[in-house]
Structure 1
Amino acid sequence: MATAVNGGVPLLSSQAYLESTAVKETRGLVSELCRQFYTLGWVSGTGGSITIKVHEDSIVKRQQLIVMSPSGVQKERMVPEDMYVLSASGEILCTPVKKPYPHRPPKCTDCAPLFMKAYEMRDAGAVIHSHGLESCLVTMLHPFSREFRITHMEMIKGIKGHGYHDELVIPIIENTAHEGELTESLAKAIEDYPKATAVLVRNHGVYVWGDSWINAKTQAECYHYLFEAALKLHNLGLDWSTPLHGSIHNSKGYEYTNRQQAGSVKAQLQNRNPVPEPSRHCIILDIEGTTTPISFVTDVLFPYARDNVRKHLTATYDSAETQDDIKLIRAQVKDDLEKRVPGSVPIPSEDSGKDDIIKCLVANVEAMIKADRKVTALKQLQGHIWRTGFENKELQGVVFDDVPEALGKWQATGIKVYIYSSGSREAQRLLFGNTAHGDLRKYLCGFFDTTIGNKRESRSYSEIYQSVGVDKPSQILFLTDVYEEAVAAKAAGLEVIISVRPGNGPLPDNHGFTTVTSFTEV
């Protein structure tokens, strides 16, 4: 055992600890996985890399040592002695012995600064960098897209925080001539996509991280499966990003499912009789007053959250999820107090009594609900409270009767449908997943909430345009009942229709937008 300090915690930089069983086993594990990944085609030609933290129960993860594979070494021939050992801050503590010609002098992986970002920003236990061909090719399907999206595939369940019905979104960053130059863009992607456990590098490969080496390996296998599935579906002319994986509409606006159909369309184009390009490739739907009566939100959902917030906070106070909710509420209240927002009251410090903290949290949440605040902190907490209501069958989602038929029609014609609401994405999924018409999530490609931006700001719609895989913002139709949202979306270049439903607020005179009273008119 290594030299110990502080009641048995090993001195990590000591030679004794560097030669300990835990470090040796981790070195051996990295070399074993490199050989396995070589057979999968993930680390051929000395490309790709892997790093794992040295697990010790007595050492917090952020202080654990790091083992990394070297650069420029045949991965299938690696041995434990080839590995580098680094401190938690990235300082090299142990370097491999130089080998005779034709081996190169030892060098730590060029991925090291990128690996460190995953450790620092995600508290990862292991990171895998793969050059698997499918992870490279999948970034070329849409050369200008900044994201890879896929939904309704069983293996999505293997990705942390995702289920079968969810849309898996992986950011794509642009490649550079040297690996280390990717560090800044990788860090930005990690920051911008807090739910992601992978980042694709265009024409290059993928970085995948997990809480442990097992979790990272499992997710990497699932990601590669999903990349390969997308490529094969693309070859069949099928859309991997929609729930039913129907035929792809290509950039000229026609469908193709096999070579014969593609040839037929080519002949039409040569005869100067092209199929007209559809004006809408994507529809974005608001919820309140558009798909769902305002009364359901104001008379059912809001009162349920208000009446159950104290019970929810008390029952789940010590959970990581609720502590995260409280952290967001604290930040929002701090900002509200500085701006003197009516109804906001100071929240006691974290070391105060639980009952006192909950009392002030409830007061702030009730004030936010009463004022119909569209802030992420409130919407996230409400979503978690509503989840309990849906699980206990105390709540059931409500949509207008024309909505399910329209969703099915749009999907059948290849139009992607998304939701954009001030309610959290979890709340959106709960509403559409538990309706009297059944689970409507099968018709939806994804969900956006205010984490992408305020609904009355045009840049929010520009961000959505960049995310849904269309060539022009005018190919997106946005349906809302709120005039200010319509103005913002139009400013971003989207087509806009205003929904006029029972109970909706009045519109300005001469507002200039097309209106509908039912989705059957769209």
Structure 2
Amino acid sequence: MADSEGGQKKRVSIAAPPAGGGGGGRASKAPPRRSMGPRQMSLKPFTPDFRGDSDEDDIVGAAGSVQPPPTVDQLPQLVEQDRGGTHRDLGGGAVGESAGGESLVKAGDLAEEGRTVRALVAQLCEYFFKAGWATGTGGGASVRVGGPSEGRPWRVFVAPSGLQKEDIVGDDIFEMDMEQNITVPSKTPNLRLSACTPLWFVVYRLRPKARCVIHTHSINALMATLLDATESSPALRVTHLEMLKGVGNHAYDDVLEIPIIDNRPTEDLLADQLEEALKNYPKSNAVLVRRHGLYVWGDSWEQAKAQCESFDYLFECAVKMKSMGLDSALRPVTVNYHAESRGKNRTIDMIMNGAEEEKKEECG
């Protein structure tokens, strides 16, 4: 994000730092954003150099107008991936192997890195609003970069509180250190840190590899916490659903346990329960808050986003299965693939053993 001009913020394209600090680096332009709020509408538009020929992103409603969020299949692709796996273009820069936990910007340009991550956090918030997970200023996101593996302190970027998530811009984002001190305040005056801030740091402290934490107010997540009518279950259990593979650490026939903690009047009061849940369920990458929503994290922002989508899919399945009289925690009654698999393995073993015997006879 650039500094304000005439009281109005403007967006600019952020080029990836050239390799080795020299020229010739490939410019990486921020993807188009669908301006929905009056604050975003005051920003100068992107230059038309992004990938894609559609002009639909330039069409906006009147300031302050209410527009329903698009359906999921209309959501813009947040990143356009280089299938070679070496770089990904994101909100405002280039990612070098970010899914493997590397820094978002590799050339040591900290100012560039800060602009890139702020743009990313703003666009994640907008994406989750459009998915229906962050309405009414609810939800939030945090991304951190740096750390001991890179020989420098962590830089933690946190979305603000009280803003419409579809209307957040990079200048609104706070930067903090791991002691929860604000190192770079929001450029927008009178903003407060997200109420989720203490919880971001619980996750970062107990999951040292985590680089992104997301909080949603998804209806699917909330309803999943109410599948137990007594509202006393310590966890939601799901098994034998293909999307289990999308949440990390689980296969189709594993039993996924997502811990559930009870809601409190304010977000910060959840910290002790969240810490206990992370310790008691080391395999889980998410925690549900009863009658509230979901916290999910990942070793990169891409992983956290993908897992958040996968968890929401599983929650919707669990709720719909309940309405059909099915229990998402139980193994299907007609499952026989284990026996089939064992039978196939025995057949293969017999064939291989027979081949070995024939080979021995030939050698004899």
TM-score with structure 1 setting the length: 0.42
1:140–1:202 CA contact under 8 A, matched in 2: yes
Q: 1:238 and 1:77, CA in 2 relative to 1: closer, same or farther beyond 3 A?
A: same
Q: 1:235 and 1:66, CA in 2 relative to 1: closer, same or farther beyond 3 A?
A: same
Q: CA deviation at 1:243?
A: 2.1
Local SS of the residue matching 1:225: helix
Selected match of 2:220 from 134, 140, 153: 134
2:158–2:173 CA contact under 8 A, matched in 1: yes
Unaligned runs of 5+ in 2: 1-16, 18-107, 346-364
1:138–1:227 CA contact under 8 A, matched in 2: yes
CA distance, structure 2, for counterparts of residue 438 and residue 188 of structure 1:
44
Unaligned runs of 5+ in 1: 2-16, 100-104, 247-407, 413-431, 440-522
1:23–1:54 CA contact under 8 A, matched in 2: no
Local SS of the residue matching 2:193: coil
Local SS of the residue matching 2:150: coil
CA distance, structure 1, for counterparts of residue 261 and residue 224 of structure 2:
13
Selected match of 2:129 from 19, 38, 56: 38
CA distance, structure 2, for counterparts of residue 161 and residue 129 of structure 1:
20
CA distance, structure 1, for counterparts of residue 151 and residue 262 of structure 2:
34
Output one character per residue of 1:437-494: Cα deviation in whole Å (capped at 9) or x when no partner: 689xxxxxxxxxxxxxxxxxxxxxxxxxxxxxxxxxxxxxxxxxxxxxxxxxxxxxxx
Local SS of the residue matching 1:45: coil
2:171–2:188 CA contact under 8 A, matched in 1: no
Q: Where does residue 211 of structure 1 map in the other structure? A: 299
List aligned pairs for 1:157-306, cutoff 5 A.
157-244=245-332
Q: CA deviation at 1:239?
A: 1.7
Q: CA deviation at 1:41?
A: 1.1
2:140–2:215 CA contact under 8 A, matched in 1: yes
Selected match of 1:23 from 99, 114, 127: 114
**Poorly superposed stretches of 4+, deviation over 4 Å:** 55-58, 432-439
1:47–1:131 CA contact under 8 A, matched in 2: yes
Q: 1:110 and 1:237, CA in 2 relative to 1: closer, same or farther beyond 3 A?
A: same
Local SS of the residue matching 1:241: coil
Whichever residue aligns with residue 163 of structure 2, its letter is: V
Q: Where does residue 386 of structure 1 map in the other structure? A: none
Q: CA deviation at 1:55?
A: 4.7
CA distance, structure 2, for counterparts of residue 216 and residue 89 of structure 1:
23
2:172–2:188 CA contact under 8 A, matched in 1: no
Q: CA deviation at 1:48?
A: 0.5
Whichever residue aligns with residue 161 of structure 2, its letter is: S
Q: Where does residue 160 of structure 2 map in the other structure? A: 70
CA distance, structure 2, for counterparts of residue 172 and residue 37 of structure 1:
21
1:110–1:180 CA contact under 8 A, matched in 2: yes
Q: Is residue 108 from structure 1 mapped to residue 193 from structure 2 by the alignment?
A: yes
Q: 1:49 and 1:85, CA in 2 relative to 1: closer, same or farther beyond 3 A?
A: same
1:173–1:186 CA contact under 8 A, matched in 2: yes
Local SS of the residue matching 1:90: coil
Whichever residue aligns with residue 113 of structure 1, its letter is: P
CA distance, structure 1, for counterparts of residue 151 and residue 245 of structure 2:
28
Q: Where does residue 505 of structure 1 map in the other structure? A: none
Local SS of the residue matching 1:64: strand
CA distance, structure 2, for counterparts of residue 57 and residue 29 of structure 1:
22
Output one character per residue of 1:62-114: Cα deviation in whole Å (capped at 9) or x when no partner: x3201000011111000000000001222111111344xxxxx2100111111
Q: Where does residue 187 of structure 2 map in the other structure? A: 97
Q: Where does residue 54 of structure 1 map in the other structure? A: 145
CA distance, structure 2, for counterparts of residue 173 and residue 438 of structure 1:
43
Whichever residue aligns with residue 74 of structure 1, its letter is: Q
Local SS of the residue matching 1:162: coil
Whichever residue aligns with residue 34 of structure 1, its letter is: C
CA distance, structure 2, for counterparts of residue 19 and residue 109 of structure 1:
23
Local SS of the residue matching 1:65: strand
Q: Is residue 80 from structure 1 mapped to residue 166 from structure 2 by the alignment?
A: no
CA distance, structure 2, for counterparts of residue 18 and residue 233 of structure 1:
50
Larger relative helix fraction: 1
Whichever residue aligns with residue 73 of structure 1, its letter is: L
Identity %: 37
Q: CA deviation at 1:242?
A: 1.4
Q: CA deviation at 1:42?
A: 1.1
TM-score with structure 2 setting the length: 0.60
Q: CA deviation at 1:37?
A: 0.5
Output one character per residue of 1:304-346: Cα deviation in whole Å (capped at 9) or x when no partner: xxxxxxxxxxxxxxxxxxxxxxxxxxxxxxxxxxxxxxxxxxx
